[in-house]
């Protein structure tokens, strides 16, 4: 397989893995609490990446400063968004959660204007953001008008998108690390901190776990939390961030339709319209000014 085909294969794999994370979260929440979903997916992800780091002979003995950076990523890029998504998905569908996460690159381009000197807003980014935010308002409108409890879930998932955006900006500003080492250390710290925050999650009778929820949370930890992080950095190193940015168009689409096809979630007209608005906003924001 040529390197170009390999990159596209990895990109497609990453899109499917991350697109399925919302479906797997939905099935995990049938038995586990949101805090348990966060803690166990991080722990399983950490074990997965630790195994990968051993296979590739990576040493995790790093200066204290590096571990401080990893702790920031662990909280802002993992614990906070995972918790917000898990709680949010108790009141909204997996498809809607995946659709709302498309807001993340739009928030990132605004934050980048203020915090990254070489990534300023231009006319395309501005209008792309306006169009994308219009899509979010299309989703929010009916739930606000109906006084639905889904409104709270929508805002939580949007908060998770903002946390991912902040984490992206911080990562761009701080020191770069070996991808396997950084992924492993971040997940180890995140899982440790999760058990410290929610020690009651250890009080779990594993014999009571249903097969569906148990399988879902294992897959959630191994694939979207662990292996996806490794694939992500392979693509970054081999093809660059611009090539990787294509996932922003497709992950929401995959998440939305996986929920509809596999979970029977209703496809509402306003959600389709919102998806078109948000994806169009991302597409326009990627255009270069002359």
Query: Tens of pLDDT along 262-275?
Result: 999 888 888 888 88
Euclidean distance between CA atoms 22 and 19, whole angstroms: 7
Residue 279 lies in a domain: no
Structural domain of 223: 3-102+133-262
Examine residue 203 and state whether it is found in any structural domain, yes or no.
yes
Note the pLDDT of residue 240: 64
Quick one: tokens of 88?
Answer: 């949010």
pLDDT at residue 223 is higher than 90:
yes
Residue at 220 is within a domain: yes
| Structural domain total, the chain | 1
For 90-112, the DSSP string reads: TTS-HHHHHHHGGGHHHHHHHHH
Confidence class for position 290, pLDDT limits 50, 70, 90: low
pLDDT at position 118, please?
79
**What pLDDT shows up at residue 37?**
97
Inside any domain, residue 122: no
Query: How many whole angstroms separate alpha carbon 96 and alpha carbon 158?
Result: 11
Q: To 10 degrees, what angle do helices 247-263 and 269-285 make?
A: 160
Tens of pLDDT, residues 126-184? 898 899 888 888 887 776 666 666 889 999 999 999 999 898 888 888 887 888 898 99
- 110 part of a folded domain: no
Question: pLDDT per residue over 41-95, tens digit each?
Answer: 999 999 999 999 999 899 888 999 999 999 999 999 999 999 999 999 999 999 9
The two three-digit tokens of residue 141, written as one number: 């409108």
Cβ partners under 8 Å of residue 96, min gap 6: 139, 150, 154, 157, 256, 259, 271
**DSSP letter assigned to residue 289:** P
Asked if residue 29 is part of any domain, the answer here is yes
Within a domain: residue 182? Answer: yes
């Amino acid at each position: 397989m040529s390197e170009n085909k390999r990159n596209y294969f990895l990109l497609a794999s990453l899109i499917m893995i991350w697109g399925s994370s919302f479906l797997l979260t939905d099935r995990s929440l049938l038995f586990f609490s949101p805090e348990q979903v966060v803690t166990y997916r991080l722990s399983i992800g950490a074990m997965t990446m630790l195994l990968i780091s051993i296979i590739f002979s990576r040493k995790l003995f790093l200066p204290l400063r590096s571990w401080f950076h990893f702790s920031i990523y662990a909280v802002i890029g993992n614990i906070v968004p995972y918790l917000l998504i898990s709680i949010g998905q108790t009141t909204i569908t997996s498809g809607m959660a995946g659709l709302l996460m498309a807001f993340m690159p739009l928030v990132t381009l605004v934050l980048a204007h203020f915090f990254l000197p070489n990534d300023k807003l231009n006319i395309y980014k501005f209008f792309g953001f306006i169009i994308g935010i219009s899509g979010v308002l299309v989703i929010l409108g009916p739930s606000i008008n109906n006084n639905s409890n889904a409104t709270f879930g929508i805002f939580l998932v949007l908060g998770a998108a903002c946390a991912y955006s902040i984490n992206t900006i911080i990562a761009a500003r701080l020191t770069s690390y070996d991808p396997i080492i950084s992924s492993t250390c971040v997940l180890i710290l995140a899982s440790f901190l999760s058990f410290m925050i929610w020690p009651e999650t250890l009080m779990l009778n594993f014999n009571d776990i249903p097969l569906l929820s148990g399988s879902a949370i294992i897959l959630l930890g191994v694939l979207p939390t662990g292996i996806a992080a490794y694939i992500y950095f392979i693509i970054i190193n081999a093809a660059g961030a611009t090539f990787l940015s294509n996932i922003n168009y497709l992950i929401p689409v995959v998440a939305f339709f996986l929920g509809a096809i596999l979970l029977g979630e209703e496809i509402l007209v306003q959600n389709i319209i919102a998806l078109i608005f948000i994806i169009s906003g991302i597409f326009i924001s990627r255009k270069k000014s002359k």
